[in-house]
């Protein structure tokens, strides 16, 4: 009969870090879905609909950044205790994801204040250009947001694999 190889048990903080990565991935997927579904219809005729959609998209963005930041910190703490390279790599990619997502904060703030119908603040955020020019210039910002979401997808999958192995 072959020998059974014992799997190493999770050290303190390892499981929590992996779970937080999975949660951050799920929040990222929800944010991506909300962004895709809500942003094209943001110019609807009803002010209440516009307000709700803008607030939902901006809230999901904030939740994504918070969850990803929490996953990064948890993985750094886990690395200090367990000394596993996978933890530090997940922390690194979560940090890169947070930085990439923060590059689109200007668009999210403009969207948020447009939903609140605060045109003065929107004009301060956009600057001297028009709304359409502002959205055209946000292509690098959207690319960073897609990169951020993709990184968290891979980090989440890595965490799920870690959880499933043990």
pTM summary value: 0.82
Q: Which tens digit of pLDDT belongs to each residue from 76-110?
A: 999 998 888 888 999 999 999 999 999 888 888 88
Q: What is the mean pLDDT of the chain?
A: 83
Residue 132 has pLDDT above 60, yes or no: yes
d(CA 64, CA 59): 9
Using CA atoms, how far apart are residues 138 and 75, in angstroms rounded to an integer?
A: 31
Residue 30 token pair: 């929800």
Is the pLDDT confidence value at 68 over 70? Answer: yes
């Amino acid at each position: 009969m072959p020998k059974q190889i014992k799997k190493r048990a999770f050290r303190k903080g390892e499981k929590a870090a992996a779970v937080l990565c999975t949660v951050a991935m799920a929040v990222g997927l929800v944010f991506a879905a909300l962004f895709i579904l809500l942003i094209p219809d943001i110019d609807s005729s009803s002010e209440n609909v516009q307000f709700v959609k803008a607030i939902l998209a901006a809230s999901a963005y904030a939740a994504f950044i918070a969850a990803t930041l929490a996953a990064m910190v948890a993985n750094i703490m886990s690395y200090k205790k367990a000394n596993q390279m996978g933890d530090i790599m997940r922390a690194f990619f979560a940090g890169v994801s947070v930085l990439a997502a923060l590059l689109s904060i200007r668009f999210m703030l403009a969207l948020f204040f447009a939903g609140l119908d605060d045109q003065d603040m929107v004009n301060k955020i956009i600057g001297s250009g028009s709304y359409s020019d502002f959205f055209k210039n946000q292509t690098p910002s959207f690319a960073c947001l897609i990169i951020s979401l993709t990184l968290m997808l891979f980090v989440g999958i890595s965490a799920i694999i870690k959880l499933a192995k043990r």
